[in-house]
């Protein structure tokens, strides 16, 4: 078993006594991880060639993001990345369509709960699955026994429950204005 750490500071030296496996976020494409742009990831690989480096791309991807995402994935493909954690299926599609050799980690937070889902994504070229934190040890054992996919589990810290990039107050004000118009209030 390996200890894979999501960095909460940019100083990897603080962690090297405990592990050499890390998750970082890709700038503009990640939430809840320290974000690095491509140039910073290149420097990280150069400065620490022996670490295992997983890059998280765990936000919803919009059509306007696709070109930049594709460019970033092509760059990451040349950097000996150990895995790309992804949620949005555009990542899977780009990696497969461009025939990139990036190891993929299906990381849909609370959706990965059974071996059938794991086998499906394994067949779609995912090497790893990041299991839901809500499943039992018995369910993890069953997935391990009935799937070829490598397992990543969350064991310690504060799991993310939800995230929204929407400006909720703006939406609420918009709804209030629309209601007031419908009932004739200024």
Domain ranges of the chain: 4-183
CATH of domain 4-183: 3.20.20.60
Q: What is the pLDDT of residues 131-169, one digit of tens each?
A: 988 888 899 999 999 999 999 886 644 455 454 555 555
Phi, psi torsion values for 112, nearest 5 degrees: -95, 90
- Alpha-carbon distances, residue 15 vs 9, 21, 44, 136, 177 (angstroms): 10, 9, 14, 29, 51
pLDDT value at residue 155: 62
pLDDT under 70 in the chain at which residues? 1-2, 154-174, 185-186
Instruction: Provide CB contacts within 8 A for 127, sequence distance 6+.
Output: 83, 103, 104, 105, 149, 150
pLDDT value at residue 9: 81
The pTM of this model reads 0.82
pLDDT value at residue 183: 76
pLDDT value at residue 186: 60
pLDDT value at residue 164: 55
User: How large is the greatest C-alpha to C-alpha distance in the chain, in angstroms?
Assistant: 67
């Amino acid at each position: 078993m390996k200890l894979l750490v999501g960095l909460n500071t940019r100083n990897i030296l603080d962690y090297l006594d405990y592990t050499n496996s890390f998750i970082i976020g890709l700038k503009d494409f990640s939430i809840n991880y320290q974000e690095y742009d491509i140039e910073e990831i290149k420097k990280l690989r150069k400065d620490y060639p022996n670490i295992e480096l997983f890059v998280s791309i765990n936000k919803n991807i919009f059509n306007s993001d696709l070109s930049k995402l594709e460019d970033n994935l092509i760059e990451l493909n040349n950097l000996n990345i150990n895995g790309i954690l992804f949620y949005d299926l555009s990542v899977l599609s780009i990696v497969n369509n461009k025939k990139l050799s990036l190891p993929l980690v299906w990381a849909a937070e609370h959706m990965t709960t059974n071996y059938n889902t794991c086998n499906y994504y394994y067949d779609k070229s995912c090497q790893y699955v990041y299991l839901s934190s809500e499943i039992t040890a018995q369910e993890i054992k069953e997935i391990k026994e009935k799937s070829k996919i490598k397992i990543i589990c969350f064991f310690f810290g504060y799991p993310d429950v939800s995230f929204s990039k929407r400006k909720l107050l703006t939406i609420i004000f918009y709804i209030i204005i629309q209601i007031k118009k419908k009932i004739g209030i200024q």
